């Protein structure tokens, strides 16, 4: 029987970061992970493998569609999917192995097995092999993450109706792929295959793809995805899916009730994820769920049971790795008597399509709904020298600012390296910068970041210099 100050359940970005911070702050820490690899969804079947395939497929796509114009001719260009998947798996193994190293370095005890609460201070762990282990702990951080969601009446059979996990390991490039849901997972993984020649059909319930982001972004992204062969059907609610042999048929209806049926090799279910608390024994520890099945937490991420906290995908809020990480740090520092704070409004959202999409702060629709008096400025990448040099002319940066104070309230961008560029907006907004502040700062030339400066110039008195 082992005794710990803190035990973390789940080794995803929430859990492993929480464990490291607890150990840094002097707590005797254990982490329990039911799989044999550390890193959770993000490292094993999420962020990292999807980005590895996005990078590989982007290289192929560029070689096919852009190299000639750059003066580079390649004969017999083709995809070796087996090698692409092998490289992806190596990236995952190395990254997950790195977490093992960090656990050792910080003297965190790693326990393999499925954790179940027996009471609020006792956790029973069933390893893959061997007998159950009992862990006694003063405090616990639950970071058990999420799993793919499906629609009523549609079973993810993992063969033809697949989730992101299976899509990351397909053996052949599908001729056709149907995406149920035009959100982040669908569009990222759809891009991977679309770039390699798959005909992708998107069925999205809302009136635009990536509907929770600023409307202008979804519109622009749809334009960029069409040349990849994407057929995008918005305002289409999927109602069923069936498999016959190697063909999957997805049924949907538009907002007027008109029925459509789409056939494909595979259908990727990408309608969101749900919190994972199976066989966690929450009832034995008195930990309550909210009506959406998430672990209920207060502003300090404390659950209904004293000494038990929850973070990441298993609680409310955006299901993002960096959100889970911030929460892991917050809980650890609170336990050590510190007073950390997370500004949830400033957690950026990124979609790793090409062009990339990135966003932080209020959207135009939110500002309008709040009755805020705001101004907007924007700058298109087609007017950027750097973007012209790299042939990445699609997209723009859009900035919303308070009409009276000029404080930046939201930044929404679609374009080359937007995923990295959004960091400037986060820093600016954390320091409550005005558009004038950014407009007066030197941005290296030629860089994509100049588009941010120009959008701020546009927002403060329409004085963009290069348009
Ligand atoms: P998870 O990463 O889900 O980890 C939870 C861990 O807990 C798992 O390892 C699980 O095995 C373990 N566990 C569960 N129950 C138990 C138990 N009872 N006992 C022991 N162990 C248990 N987010 C981004 O920010 N950027 C991206 O680019 C991005 N890309 C993504 C791509 C895909 C395809 C997917 C599916 C997700 C992506 N996400 C991305 C979301 C991101 O993966 C999650 O938000 C993040 O992993 C949540 O971290 P977490 O620590 O809360 O949970
Ligand atoms: P999502 O919420 O991004 O998108 C789901 C989409 O499905 C929505 O647009 C929704 O309107 C649509 N939908 C729901 N029901 C439908 C129906 N019956 N018919 C048609 N469309 C329907 O969810 P996701 O793409 O599955 O991703 C899950 C989570 O993983 C997200 O919370 C996301 O934050 C996270 N993730 C993040 C990244 C990233 O940060 N780059 C990448 C992948 C996943």
State the pLDDT at residue 276.
Answer: 98
146, 184, 235, best to mutate for ligand 2 pocket (most atoms within 8 Å of CB): 184
For the chain, what is the mean pLDDT?
A: 97
State the pLDDT at residue 216.
Answer: 94
State the pLDDT at residue 386.
Answer: 98
Q: What gap in Å lies between CA 205 and CA 271, rounded to an integer?
A: 10
Q: What gap in Å lies between CA 296 and CA 305, rounded to an integer?
A: 10
State the pLDDT at residue 1.
Answer: 60
Is 148 close to ligand 1, i.e. is its CB under 6 Å away?
no
Q: What gap in Å lies between CA 427 and CA 406, rounded to an integer?
A: 16
Which segments within 158-246 are labelled E, that is strand?
A: 161-162, 176-180, 199-203, 230-233, 236-244
State the pLDDT at residue 169.
Answer: 98
| Distance (Å) from CA 430 to ligand 2 centroid | 27
| Distance (Å) from CA 270 to ligand 2 centroid | 5
Judge whether 310 and 304 are in contact, CB under 8 Å. no
Q: What gap in Å lies between CA 121 and CA 101, rounded to an integer?
A: 28
Omega before 182 within 30 of 0, i.e. cis: no
Q: Stretch 150-163: mean pLDDT, rounded?
A: 97
Closest CA to 51 of 60, 38, 42, 62: 42
Q: Which atom of ligand 2 is nearest to the CA of 238?
A: 19
pLDDT exceeds cutoff 90 at 68: yes
State the pLDDT at residue 36.
Answer: 96
pLDDT exceeds cutoff 70 at 282: yes
Residue 444 burial by Cβ neighbours in a 10 Å radius (0-12, 13-18, 19+): exposed
**If you write DSSP's letter for every residue of 125-162 in order, what string do you get?**
EE-SSS--EEEEEEEEEE---EEE---TT----SSSEE
Share of the chain above pLDDT 70, in %: 100
Two tokens, residue 231: 């057929």
321, 322, 357, 418, best to mutate for ligand 1 pocket (most atoms within 8 Å of CB): 321
Q: Name the band, by pLDDT with cuts 50, 70 and 90, for residue 47.
A: very high
What residues act catalytically?
445
State the pLDDT at residue 293.
Answer: 97
42, 151, 185, best to mutate for ligand 2 pocket (most atoms within 8 Å of CB): 185
| Distance (Å) from CA 136 to ligand 1 centroid | 25
Please count the other Cβ atoms lying within 10 Å of the Cβ belonging to residue 66: 13
Q: Over the stretch 170-217, which tens digit does the pLDDT of each residue have? A: 999 999 999 999 999 999 999 999 999 999 999 999 999 999 999 999
Q: Stretch 311-329: mean pLDDT, rounded?
A: 98
User: The whole model's pTM is what?
Assistant: 0.98
Q: Which atom of ligand 1 is nearest to the CA of 51?
A: 28
Q: Over the stretch 244-272, which tens digit does the pLDDT of each residue have? A: 999 999 999 999 999 999 999 999 999 99
Positive or negative torsion for Cα 166, 172, 173, 175:
negative
* End-to-end alpha carbon distance in the chain: 68
| Distance (Å) from CA 69 to ligand 2 centroid | 35
In this structure, the residues whose C-beta lies within 6 A of any atom of ligand 2 are: 151, 180-186, 188, 203-206, 211, 237-238, 270-273, 318-320, 350-352
Q: Stretch 446-459: mean pLDDT, rounded?
A: 98
Positive or negative torsion for Cα 214, 216, 218, 224:
negative
**Using CA atoms in the order 398, 404, 406, 411, what is the torsion angle rounded to 10 degrees?**
-30
Residue located nearest, by CA, to atom 29 of ligand 1: 47
State the pLDDT at residue 271.
Answer: 98
Q: Which atom of ligand 1 is nearest to the CA of 168?
A: 34
Q: Which atom of ligand 1 is nearest to the CA of 35?
A: 11
| Distance (Å) from CA 148 to ligand 2 centroid | 10
State the pLDDT at residue 421.
Answer: 98
Q: Over the stretch 97-117, which tens digit does the pLDDT of each residue have? A: 999 999 999 999 999 999 999
Closest CA to 234 of 221, 248, 249: 221
Is 428 close to ligand 1, i.e. is its CB under 6 Å away?
no
Q: Over the stretch 212-237, which tens digit does the pLDDT of each residue have? A: 999 999 999 999 999 999 999 999 99
- Mind listing the domains of the chain with CATH numbers? 2-148+274-344 (3.50.50.60), 161-271 (3.50.50.60), 355-459 (3.30.390.30)
Is 454 close to ligand 1, i.e. is its CB under 6 Å away?
no
Q: What gap in Å lies between CA 262 and CA 203, rounded to an integer?
A: 9
Q: Name the band, by pLDDT with cuts 50, 70 and 90, for residue 277.
A: very high
Judge whether 381 and 373 are in contact, CB under 8 Å. no
Q: Over the stretch 342-393, which tens digit does the pLDDT of each residue have? A: 999 999 999 999 999 999 999 999 999 999 999 999 999 999 999 999 999 9
Q: Which atom of ligand 2 is nearest to the CA of 210?
A: 9
């Amino acid at each position: 029987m082992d005794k710990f100050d803190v035990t973390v359940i789940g080794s995803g970005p929430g859990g492993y970061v929480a464990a490291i911070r607890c150990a840094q702050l002097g707590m005797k820490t254990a982490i329990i992970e039911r799989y044999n690899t550390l890193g959770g969804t993000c490292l094993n079947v999420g962020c990292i493998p999807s980005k590895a395939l996005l990078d590989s497929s982007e290289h192929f796509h560029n070689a096919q569609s852009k190299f000639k114009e750059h003066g580079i001719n390649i004969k017999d260009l083709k995809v070796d999917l087996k090698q692409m998947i092998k490289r992806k798996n190596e990236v995952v193994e190395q990254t997950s192995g790195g977490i093992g190293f960090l656990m050792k370095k910080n003297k965190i005890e790693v326990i393999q097995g499925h954790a179940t609460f027996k009471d609020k201070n006792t956790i029973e762990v069933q390893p893959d092999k061997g007998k159950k282990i009992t862990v006694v702990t003063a405090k616990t951080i639950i970071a058990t993450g999420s799993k793919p969601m499906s629609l009523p009446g549609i079973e993810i059979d993992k063969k033809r109706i697949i989730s992101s996990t299976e899509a990351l390991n397909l053996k052949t490039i599908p001729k056709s792929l149907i995406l149920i849901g035009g959100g982040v997972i669908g569009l990222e993984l759809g891009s991977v295959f679309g770039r390699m020649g798959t005909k992708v059909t998107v069925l999205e319930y809302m009136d635009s793809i990536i509907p929770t982001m600023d409307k202008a972004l979804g519109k622009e992204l749809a334009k960029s995805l069409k040349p990849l062969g994407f057929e995008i059907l918005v305002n289409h609610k999927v109602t069923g899916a069936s498999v016959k042999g190697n063909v999957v048929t997805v049924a949907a209806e538009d907002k007027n009730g008109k029925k459509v049926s789409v056939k494909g090799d595979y259908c990727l279910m990408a309608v969101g994820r749900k919190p994972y608390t199976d066989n966690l024994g929450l009832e034995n520890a008195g930990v309550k769920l909210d009506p959406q099945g998430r672990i209920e937490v207060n502003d300090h991420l404390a659950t209904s049971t004293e000494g038990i906290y929850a973070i990441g995908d298993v609680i409310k809020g955006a299901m993002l790795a960096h959100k889970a990480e911030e929460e892991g740090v917050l809980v650890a520092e609170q336990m050590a008597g510190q007073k950390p704070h997370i500004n949830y409004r400033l957690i950026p959202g990124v979609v790793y399509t090409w062009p990339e999409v990135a966003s932080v702060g209020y959207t135009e629709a939110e500002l309008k709904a709040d009755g805020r008096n705001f101004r907007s400025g924007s700058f298109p990448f087609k007017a950027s020298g750097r973007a012209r040099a790299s042939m990445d002319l699609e997209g723009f940066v859009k900035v919303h600012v308070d009409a009276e104070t000029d404080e930046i309230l939201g930044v929404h961008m679609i374009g080359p390296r937007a995923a990295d560029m959004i960091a400037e907006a986060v820093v600016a907004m954390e320091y409550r910068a005005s558009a004038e502040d950014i407009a007066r700062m030197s941005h290296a030339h030629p860089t994509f970041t100049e588009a941010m400066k120009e959008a701020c110039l546009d927002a403060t008195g329409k004085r963009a210099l290069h348009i």
